[in-house]
C-alpha cells in the first residue's frame, strides 16, 4: 500500500514538473515580451531577462504616439468584435441546419464546405480583393471583416457539438411548442455555451491579429488600419527598435487578455466537455 502511494506521489511529481515546464515554455514569450517592453535601449542589449525597473514606461508612450495605436485599437476592436459576432451567428445557423435538418445534397454540401478548409488563405487574396473592389466596398470596416464571416472549421465544431445533444430534447421542445429558432436560442445555445465561448475567443484573437488583408483593403484610407499595421510602423529596416515593438505588442495583447479573463471559466468547461464529446 505504502509502495503504491509512493509510486503515485512520484508519478504526480514528475507529471507536475513536466506540466510546469511545458507551461513555462508556452508562457515564456509573453514574459519576455512584457519584460522587454519595460527595458531601456541599453538594457535591451544585455542578456538579462528582467528590466532595470518596471516603472520605465517611455516605450509604451512612444509606441502609442509613433504607431497611432489608440486609433488602430478602435478599428481592430470593431473588426474583431463584429466580425466574430457575425461569424458566430452564421456558424451556429449552418451547424444547426447540418445537425438537425435532412435535405437533398446535405452530405455533398457539407463536404464542399469542409473542403474549403484546405484552400490556403493566401491563394484567395487576389480573388477576394477583386470581389470586394467590384462591390465597391474597399476602405470600409465591412471589407476588413467580410472574408471572415464564414468559417468552415467553426461550423464543423459546432455541428459536432450540436449532434452530441440528444435528439429527444428537440422533440420534447417541439411538443412544448418550441420552433427551431426558439429551441436553438433558448435551449441549445445555453447548453453549448462553453464551446461557443471558446470559439468566440479564438475567432476574436484571429481577427484581432489579422495583418495582410486589412492592410490591402484599406490601401487608400490609412485611418481604417488595424493595430497590427500600427505595430509595423514602430520598427524600421534601418533602426531596430525591438523594445518599442514589444511595448506595442503588449498594448495589443490587452483586449484579448481581458476577453480571455472574462470568458476563461466557460472556456475551461468547454474544453472538458469537448473531451467527453470526443
Q: Which of 173, 144, 170 is nearest to 81 (CA)?
A: 144
Nearest CB to other proteins, comparing residues 204 and 213: 213
Q: Does 219 bind other proteins (CB under 8 A)?
A: yes
Nearest CB to other proteins, comparing residues 105 and 111: 105
Only one of the segments 142-150, 181-189, 236-244, 260-268 lies at the binding site for other proteins (rule: CB under 8 A); that segment is 236-244
Q: Which of 250, 187, 267 is nearest to 32 (CA)?
A: 250
Site for other proteins in 199-218 (CB under 8 A): 212, 215-216
> Which of 125, 150, 189, 205 is close enough to bind other proteins by CB under 8 A?
125
Q: Does 233 bind other proteins (CB under 8 A)?
A: yes
For cell 523594445, the residue is: 243
Nearest CB to other proteins, comparing residues 15 and 126: 126
| Upper half-sphere CA count for residue 149 (Cβ side, 13 Å) | 11
Nearest CB to other proteins, comparing residues 157 and 231: 231
Tell how many helices (H) and how many strands (E) occur in the chain.
15, 0
Considering the complex, what minimum distance in angstroms separates the CB of residue 118 from other proteins?
19
Considering the complex, what minimum distance in angstroms separates the CB of residue 49 from other proteins?
15
DSSP string for residues in 94-108: HHHHHHH---TTHHH
- Distance separating alpha carbons of residues 58 and 244, to the nearest angstrom: 9
DSSP string for residues in 15-38: HHHHHHHHHHHHHHHHHHHHHHHT
Nearest CB to other proteins, comparing residues 73 and 234: 234
| Cβ-contact 154, 91 below 8 angstroms | yes
Nearest CB to other proteins, comparing residues 164 and 235: 235
Q: Does 220 bind other proteins (CB under 8 A)?
A: yes
Specify the long-range contacts of residues 219-223, CB closer than 8 Å, at least 24 apart.
219/138, 219/139, 220/138, 220/139, 221/139, 223/71
Only one of the segments 15-23, 128-136, 160-168, 255-263 lies at the binding site for other proteins (rule: CB under 8 A); that segment is 128-136
> Nearest 5°: phi and psi at 80?
-70, -40
Considering the complex, what minimum distance in angstroms separates the CB of residue 211 from other proteins?
8
Nearest CB to other proteins, comparing residues 86 and 125: 125
Site for other proteins in 32-71 (CB under 8 A): 41-42, 44-46, 66
Q: Does 133 bind other proteins (CB under 8 A)?
A: yes
Nearest CB to other proteins, comparing residues 17 and 211: 211
Q: Which of 146, 116, 270, 275 is nearest to 202 (CA)?
A: 270
Q: Does 129 bind other proteins (CB under 8 A)?
A: yes
DSSP state of 186: I
The footprint of other proteins (CB under 8 A) covers 41-42, 44-46, 66, 105, 125-126, 129-131, 133-134, 138, 212, 215-216, 219-220, 222, 229, 232-241, 244
Amino acid at each position: 500500500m505504502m509502495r503504491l502511494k509512493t509510486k503515485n506521489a512520484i508519478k504526480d511529481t514528475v507529471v507536475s514538473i513536466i506540466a510546469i515546464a511545458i507551461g513555462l515554455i508556452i508562457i515564456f514569450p509573453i514574459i519576455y515580451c512584457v519584460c522587454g517592453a519595460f527595458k531601456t535601449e541599453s538594457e535591451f542589449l544585455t542578456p538579462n531577462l528582467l528590466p532595470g525597473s518596471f516603472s520605465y514606461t517611455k516605450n509604451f508612450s512612444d509606441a502609442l504616439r509613433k504607431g497611432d495605436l489608440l486609433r488602430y485599437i478602435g478599428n481592430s476592436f470593431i473588426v474583431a468584435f463584429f466580425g466574430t459576432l457575425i461569424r458566430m451567428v452564421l456558424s451556429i445557423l449552418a451547424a444547426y441546419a447540418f445537425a438537425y435538418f435532412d435535405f437533398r445534397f446535405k452530405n455533398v454540401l457539407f463536404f464542399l464546405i469542409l473542403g474549403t478548409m484546405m484552400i490556403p488563405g493566401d491563394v484567395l487574396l487576389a480573388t477576394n480583393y477583386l470581389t470586394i473592389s467590384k462591390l465597391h466596398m474597399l476602405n470600409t470596416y465591412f471589407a476588413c471583416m467580410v472574408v471572415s464571416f464564414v468559417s468552415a472549421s467553426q461550423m464543423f465544431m459546432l455541428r459536432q457539438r450540436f449532434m452530441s445533444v440528444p435528439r429527444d430534447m428537440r422533440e420534447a421542445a417541439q411538443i412544448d411548442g418550441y420552433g427551431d429558432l426558439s429551441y436553438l436560442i433558448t435551449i441549445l445555445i445555453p447548453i453549448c455555451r462553453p464551446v461557443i465561448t471558446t470559439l468566440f475567443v479564438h475567432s476574436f484573437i484571429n481577427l484581432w491579429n489579422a495583418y495582410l488583408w486589412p492592410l490591402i483593403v484599406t490601401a487608400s484610407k490609412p485611418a481604417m488600419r488595424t493595430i497590427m499595421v500600427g505595430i509595423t510602423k514602430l520598427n524600421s529596416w534601418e533602426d531596430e527598435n525591438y523594445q518599442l515593438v514589444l511595448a506595442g505588442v503588449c498594448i495589443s495583447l490587452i483586449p484579448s487578455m481581458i476577453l480571455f479573463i472574462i470568458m476563461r471559466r466557460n472556456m475551461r468547461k468547454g474544453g472538458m466537455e469537448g473531451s467527453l464529446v470526443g
